[in-house]
Structure 1
Amino acid sequence: MHILILALSRFDRPSGICRYAANLAKCLDEIEQISRITLVLGSWQEKYFLEDFQIDSEKIKIYPVNIKNSSIYRNIWFISQLPKLTKILNADLVHVSFPIPFFRFIFPCPVVATIHDFYPFDNPENFGFPNYIFNQLFTQICVKNADGITCVSQVTLSRLKYYFPQIYQQKLPTVIYNYVDFQNTQSQSPNIIENTPFILAVAQHRKNKNLDLLVQAYGLLIQNLQIDSITKLIIVGSEGPETQRLLQLVNNLSLEKSVIFSSSLSDPELCWLYQNCELFVCPSASEGFCLPLVEALYFSCQIVCSDIPILKEVGNSDCIYFSLEGEVVKNLSTAIIDAYNQHKIKSKTNDLRFAKANIADQYLDFYRKFITGKFD
């Protein structure tokens, strides 16, 4: 079985979408029935997939596409060249790792898609005008043309049902969680912090991530001497629409020496941060899945999360939750203090919902349905 994973995106450094595609490839690498995995990337992505995501397997072949990294060029390539490449490489199935525009009738084999979230519909401000319109359109085209659809959470599945009820009934999409496996990753200290305690957040600079709330809560705790003044706040994530606003907020609160932004870390460096943070905070207003939360759970971090359905679905009873109603900054700062007052021994946990072997079995069953045409 030859699976082609489409991971070509705009990101020139590690991001959540890219990490999903890399993890998918490494997951499929464990399946005996899959003999070959082709990972299609932009030429600007090859280096960090190999080095930061540690793609190193005889079974996984990286196919770099040398085009201009712009939305127009990428989308034209998806529509016109991806079907041709699929035929040339003789793939048995194409898995697009995020919504792209394509037309199924051009492809020589089944095409399945993973839907991570419905931000273009639920949070159009993440993209701005007119970008959100195109993202909505590409999502519509993708879900309508895909033979099969996987969602990364029950919450995302419910949003699919809400926005596309007919497609939900016709294609019976399934939920397959993202997995976490750092078993073979040797942690390495990044060059962004000295030997000082720190609070960690991992999120893109988007409005729904509520990073401004975290900065304000952190500043309040420092000001009130409720946490040690040497404690840093590290925010790992790619820049976005909220970047300038966050930088201005940090400046207004005189936290320039205390808040550290980083946008490009390898898996070993990320592991080190999870292993050594005082606590991990996820203050999001909405999420499709939140892989960083699963990673934090994997390392048994002390965790503070906003009280929203998806984070409750993923985190269960292993997190301290705060309300996004009322005095939100106060709610978050109180939850952080509560987390500090709890003592938790860090050790790797193994929630079977996110276990690599279980996820691999689910993908194999999912692919077989479309390759064999048997949907019993």
Structure 2
Amino acid sequence: MNVVIAAMSAPTHMNGVSRHAANLARALLSTKAISEIHFVAGAWQKEMFRGALGVCDPRLHSHWIPLREANLSRLFWYYRELPCIAAQLEADIVHLTFPAPTAVAAYPCATVLSLHDLYPFDIPCNFGRLKSAVARHTIFQCVRRVDAIACVSSVTQMEFARRFPTLTHKTQVIHNVVEFRVPASISGRLETLKGYRFILCVAQHRSNKNIPLAIRVFERLLGKRILPAETRLVVVGIPGPETRNIEEEIRNARLSRKVLLFSGLSDAEMRWCYENCLILLAPSSMEGFGLPVAEAILAGARVVCSDIPAFREVGGEACHYVPWTHDPVEIYVGAIRDALGATPYRCVLSLQLAAASIGERYASFYGDVACATFARRERFREPVRVGSGPAGIPWK
């Protein structure tokens, strides 16, 4: 089976969607059902994805498209150019790693969409008025025109069913890959953490991640001397609409030397953070999957997180869950105090989340989708007429 993975997006540093795209490629390469993978992304993403893919397999072909990085250019590329590329590559499946503009009946093969969340509907402030409107329109268009949708969690599938009840037959839950492929290492900017204890928060700078809340919790922990004065709060995530509020919160709390903001860490550096943190703190109000929680559990870290369905789905009994109340800071402080006094939950995540297992699930899913798409298109194909045409020329 020949698969095109469309991973072109704006960021030059890893986020959840780009990590999913790289993990998807590696997962598919672990199966024998996949004959070729064409990984298509922007030229500005080349270095990021080369490090994340980290595989040398003759079946993997990387294509770096030299577009302008403007959003409009990427939208037109998905709408007009990607179907032509899929035809030239004789693809059996085109896999969109996030909702993208999709023309009606544009592809010569079956199309699959990875759906991570429905933030443009649920949290439009993450994008701004114009971008959220464009994102909602894109989702409406894309989910109707693709042949199948792989939801990264049951939570995402249920939210999709609530908003698109007539399209639920297209969906199947296939979780993200959760595994470490490289050993932990500390280098570069992380050298400043040597010798310090730290709390880890892995989150993009978006409102649903509640990073300002994490900073207030950290401030209270220091004030009550639950944490030693030299402890740090490490926030790993790409900048976004909440960056200014986060920086203002740090200044107001006078914690500029103790709250460290990082982005673009390698897989090895992320693993070092998980394995060496006192606690992973995840106070999100909404998530589609909760990859940091899953990775922290895999690394053997203590996890204190909000009590939301996505975290329950991946965290099970391994986390200290915090319900939403009128005073979340004090509740989180209490939960962290309890977690620090407890033995870390040494849990090995289900093998169902390993790349080989996820790859097999996708290969099977692709096969079903390709067969169903072929059968559906055959039903609507013009019937062959038997007999002779003008001048005795057979009908075709």
Structure 2 matches for 1:326-341, cutoff 5 A?
326-341=326-341
* Residue of structure 2 aligned with 1:177, choices 170, 175, 178: 175
Give the structure 1 partner of residue 10 of structure 2. Answer: 10
Give the structure 1 partner of residue 393 of structure 2. Answer: none
Please tell me whether the aligned partners of residues 96 and 112 of structure 1 are also in contact (alpha carbons under 8 angstroms).
yes
Please tell me whether the aligned partners of residues 238 and 264 of structure 2 are also in contact (alpha carbons under 8 angstroms).
yes
Distance of aligned partners of 1:26 and 1:196 in 2 relative to their CA distance in 1, 3 Å threshold: same
Q: Which stretch shifts more, 43-52 or 283-292? A: 43-52
**How much does 1:343 deviate?**
2.0
Distance of aligned partners of 1:259 and 1:55 in 2 relative to their CA distance in 1, 3 Å threshold: farther
Q: Which stretch shifts more, 7-16 or 355-364? A: 355-364
Residue 263 (structure 1) aligned with residue 269 (structure 2): no
Give the structure 2 partner of residue 356 of structure 1. Answer: 355
Q: Distance in 2 between matches of 1:162 and 1:315?
A: 24
Please tell me whether the aligned partners of residues 152 and 173 of structure 2 are also in contact (alpha carbons under 8 angstroms).
yes
Give the residue type in structure 2 aligned to 1:214: A
Q: Distance in 2 between matches of 1:228 and 1:59?
A: 51
Question: How big is the alpha-carbon RMSD for the aligned residues of Structure 1 and Structure 2?
Answer: 1.4
Deviations 1:6-42 (A, max 9, x none): 0000011111110000000000000101011111100
Give the structure 1 partner of residue 379 of structure 2. Answer: none
Residue 159 (structure 1) aligned with residue 183 (structure 2): no
**How much does 1:344 deviate?**
2.0
Structure 2 matches for 1:26-37, cutoff 5 A?
26-37=26-37
Q: Distance in 2 between matches of 1:266 and 1:145?
A: 35
Give the residue type in structure 2 aligned to 1:140: F
Q: Distance in 2 between matches of 1:189 and 1:52?
A: 17
**How much does 1:214 deviate?**
0.6
Give the residue type in structure 2 aligned to 1:180: V
Give the structure 2 partner of residue 140 of structure 1. Answer: 140
Give the structure 2 partner of residue 188 of structure 1. Answer: 185
Please tell me whether the aligned partners of residues 110 and 147 of structure 1 are also in contact (alpha carbons under 8 angstroms).
yes
Please tell me whether the aligned partners of residues 22 and 55 of structure 1 are also in contact (alpha carbons under 8 angstroms).
no
Give the structure 2 partner of residue 103 of structure 1. Answer: 103
Please tell me whether the aligned partners of residues 23 and 355 of structure 2 are also in contact (alpha carbons under 8 angstroms).
no
Give the residue type in structure 2 aligned to 1:7: A
Structure 2 alignment gaps of length 5 or more: 376-396
**How much does 1:323 deviate?**
1.4
Give the residue type in structure 2 aligned to 1:69: E
Deviations 1:135-154 (A, max 9, x none): 00011111000100110111
Residue 372 (structure 1) aligned with residue 371 (structure 2): yes
Q: Distance in 1 between matches of 2:322 and 2:210?
A: 13
Please tell me whether the aligned partners of residues 26 and 53 of structure 2 are also in contact (alpha carbons under 8 angstroms).
no
Structure 2 matches for 1:1-376, cutoff 5 A?
1-168=1-168, 171-182=169-180, 184-190=181-187, 191-192=189-190, 193-344=193-344, 349-373=348-372
SS at match of 1:222: helix
Please tell me whether the aligned partners of residues 115 and 152 of structure 2 are also in contact (alpha carbons under 8 angstroms).
yes
Give the residue type in structure 1 aligned to 2:178: V
Please tell me whether the aligned partners of residues 318 and 345 of structure 2 are also in contact (alpha carbons under 8 angstroms).
no
Q: Distance in 2 between matches of 1:215 and 1:36?
A: 46
SS at match of 1:285: coil
Please tell me whether the aligned partners of residues 115 and 156 of structure 1 are also in contact (alpha carbons under 8 angstroms).
yes
- Counting matched residue pairs gives 371
Please tell me whether the aligned partners of residues 104 and 111 of structure 1 are also in contact (alpha carbons under 8 angstroms).
no
Q: Distance in 1 between matches of 2:56 and 2:134?
A: 35
SS at match of 1:14: coil
Q: Distance in 1 between matches of 2:296 and 2:26?
A: 20
Q: Distance in 1 between matches of 2:341 and 2:197?
A: 15
**How much does 1:52 deviate?**
4.3
Please tell me whether the aligned partners of residues 20 and 178 of structure 1 are also in contact (alpha carbons under 8 angstroms).
yes
Q: Which stretch shifts more, 355-364 or 77-86? A: 355-364
Runs of 4+ in structure 1 deviating by more than 6 angstroms, as ranges, are none
Q: Distance in 1 between matches of 2:283 and 2:104?
A: 38
**How much does 1:104 deviate?**
4.1
SS at match of 2:261: strand
Structure 1 alignment gaps of length 5 or more: none
Give the residue type in structure 1 aligned to 2:215: V
Deviations 1:32-75 (A, max 9, x none): 01011111100000111112452443322111110000110000
